[in-house]
């Protein structure tokens, strides 16, 4: 085995001297015993099983499986306890922000930030309900503790880089990757005492169904069809959650304003929509009013995306202090809003040194990581930002950790360091309870990049939370 270090950021698997950390001993030992040839055979079989799963869901043709690296990421129990507390705290505060926003009593986020958001339309009734977010995804990175201001001691500090309230992807790939990765590395999976994801889809279904007062509500997974990149996820959700899978043209509002599945005639109580672009509300006039009146319940309601707005993100620590009376367990990245004149001047003076993002962007789109770009690209992006600065925020470049991507050749393993983040999911069955799923969808950037999104060339890997 050899480790090829190309980046200055600390690696989670190998120390600065190139020796592996003891935490990863069981994984690397099992890989060493099986050898590169057997590893290739197992990972090919894992991918074939992914394709079989795709075909079992009725999806044929192109490979729509998630690009996966099968060396798992490991999180010690003590580290996970911090992540769990911090994300539960964060979700409670965000839900309280949304409840207060709907009631006209919000006092932390400046009104001009809300009013300038492209993810919030004041003309649309909010209808968030008592638990606005039943499911959220949080993106975190690990930073060496010594590199975090005010921190002491060794180990990792976990920093939240984004909050995802509007249709976060990740639970379905976690389930699919867990089954395959545990097959590729069965000995180390057993030896490390990994917290299981058993029953996760059942629990997700239970939490989603609490959004409706009906005793046995009918759930519909709404899709835009086979061309959507998340179509395999739609089918997986529908099967696992015992839900109707319907495209937009397959549902309609009846004369009383209730949503109905045309083919079966069933009234739909809850809609769950996780799509590439657009919303069903754009295609079905009257649905917003139906949802606001409580005739149908949306897991990701209109205007919920305001919680994803990167212009709102800097205020979440103060939400925690104001609404929960606590200090944040997890920190934000230092962030500047270009809607603020002082920040605008500061950012423009250092434009090429910063990460600049659209407030409403997602999936790695409309993001510039200054130090990775050419001078020409930086100037082109600067011109775009100058046309509408209120739509952008800027952040300090964070030297977050790397994991490994595994390659084989000539009977040997080669590990390359690549930046990685965590997508962690949390569920809220009621106003006071948050359940953080004991695992994560780790996203690993293409070598040399910090953009971890699959659409930017990244891969996914399973994350094992240890007991």
Q: Which of 375, 395, 415 finishes a domain?
A: 395
In a domain, 132, yes or no: yes
Low-confidence ranges of the chain (pLDDT < 50): 149-153
9 and 110, same domain (yes or no): yes
In a domain, 203, yes or no: no
pLDDT at 150: 45
- Whether residue 185 is found in the same domain as residue 309: yes
Q: Is residue 288 part of a domain?
A: yes
The pLDDT, as a whole number, for residue 151 is 44
Model pTM score: 0.92
Cα end-to-end distance, the chain, whole Å:
28
Residue 201 in any domain: the answer is: no
User: Does 205 fall in a domain?
Assistant: no
Residue 202 lies in a domain: no
The single residue listed with the structure tokens 């490390």 is 192
pLDDT of residue 85: 98
The answer to whether the CB of 237 falls within 8 A of the CB of 243 is: yes
What dihedral angle (degrees, nearest 10) is formed by the CA atoms of 462, 182, 408, 417?
30
**127, 273: one domain:** no
Indicate whether 293 and 310 sit together in one domain: no
- On whether both 102 and 25 belong to a single domain, the answer is yes
Answer whether residue 459 is part of any domain. Answer: yes
- Residue finishing a domain among 298, 319, 344: 298
One domain, residues 11 and 51: yes
- Residue 301 contacts residue 127 (beta carbons within 8 Å): yes
> β-pairing, 156-164 with 135-144?
antiparallel
Residues 374 and 232 in one domain: no
Residues 70, 145: one domain?
A: yes
Phi and psi at 191, nearest 5°, equal -70, -35
115 is a domain residue: yes
CB 269 within 8 A of CB 297: yes
The residue among 395, 424, 445 that closes a domain is: 395
- Cα gap 124→141, rounded to integer Å: 35
Check the CA dihedral 45-50-51-55 and report its sign: positive
In terms of domains, do 81 and 148 share one?
A: yes
User: Quick one: pLDDT at residue 47?
Assistant: 96
Indicate whether 42 and 103 sit together in one domain: yes
Residue bearing tokens 């039943």: 134
Residue pair 428/38 in contact (Cβ under 8 Å)? The answer is no
pLDDT at residue number 57 = 86
Q: Tell me: the pLDDT tens digits for 189-233? A: 999 999 999 999 999 999 999 999 999 999 999 998 888 878 888
The domain in which residue 383 lies consists of 334-395
Same domain, 65 and 168: yes
Domain of 275, CATH number, reads: 3.40.50.11290
The domain total for the chain is 3
Q: Does 313 lie in the same domain as 431? A: yes
């Amino acid at each position: 085995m050899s480790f090829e270090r190309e980046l200055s950021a600390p690696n989670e698997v190998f120390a600065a001297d190139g020796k592996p950390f003891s935490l990863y001993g069981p994984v690397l030992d099992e890989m060493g015993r099986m050898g590169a040839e057997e590893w290739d055979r197992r990972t090919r079989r894992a991918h074939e099983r992914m394709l079989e799963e795709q075909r079992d869901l009725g999806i044929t043709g192109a490979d729509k499986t998630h690009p996966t690296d099968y060396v798992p990421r490991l999180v010690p129990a003590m580290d996970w306890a911090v992540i769990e507390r911090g994300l539960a705290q964060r979700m409670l505060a965000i839900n309280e922000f949304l409840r207060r926003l709907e009631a006209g009593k919000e006092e932390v986020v400046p009104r001009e930030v809300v009013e300038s958001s492209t993810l919030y339309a004041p003309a649309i009734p909010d209808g968030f309900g008592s638990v606005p977010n039943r499911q959220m995804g949080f993106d975190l990175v690990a930073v060496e503790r010594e590199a975090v201001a005010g921190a002491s001691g060794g180990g990792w500090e976990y920093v939240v880089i984004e909050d995802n309230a509007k249709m976060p992807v990740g639970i379905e790939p976690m389930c699919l990757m867990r089954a395959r990765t545990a097959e590729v590395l069965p000995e180390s999976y057993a030896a490390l005492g990994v917290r299981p994801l058993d029953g996760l889809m059942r629990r997700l279904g239970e939490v989603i169904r609490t959004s409706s007062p009906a005793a046995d509500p009918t759930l519909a997974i709404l899709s835009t069809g086979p061309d959507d990149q998340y179509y395999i996820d739609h089918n997986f959700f529908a099967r696992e959650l015992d839900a109707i899978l319907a495209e937009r043209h397959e549902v309609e509002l009846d004369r009383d304003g209730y949503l109905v599945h045309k083919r079966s005639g069933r009234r739909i109580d809850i809609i769950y929509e996780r799509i590439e672009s657009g919303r069903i509300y754009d295609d079905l006039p009257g649905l917003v009013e139906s949802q606001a009146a409580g005739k149908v319940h949306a897991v990701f309601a209109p205007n919920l995306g305001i919680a994803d707005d990167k212009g709102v993100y800097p205020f979440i620590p103060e939400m925690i202090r104001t609404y929960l009376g606590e200090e944040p367990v997890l920190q934000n990245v230092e962030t500047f809003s270009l809607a603020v004149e002082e920040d605008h001047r500061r950012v423009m003076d250092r434009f090429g040194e910063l990460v600049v993002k659209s407030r409403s962007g997602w999936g790695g789109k409309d993001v510039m990581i200054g130090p990775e770009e050419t001078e020409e690209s930086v100037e082109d992006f600067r011109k775009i930002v100058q046309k509408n600065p209120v739509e952008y925020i800027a952040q300090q470049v964070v030297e977050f950790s790397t994991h490994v991507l595994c390659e084989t050749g000539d009977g040997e393993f080669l590990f390359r360091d690549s930046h990685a983040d965590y997508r962690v999911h949390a569920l809220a069955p009621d106003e006071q309870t948050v359940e953080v799923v004991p695992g994560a969808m780790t996203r690993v950037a293409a070598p040399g990049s910090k953009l971890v999104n699959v659409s930017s060339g990244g891969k996914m890997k399973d994350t094992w939370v240890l007991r």
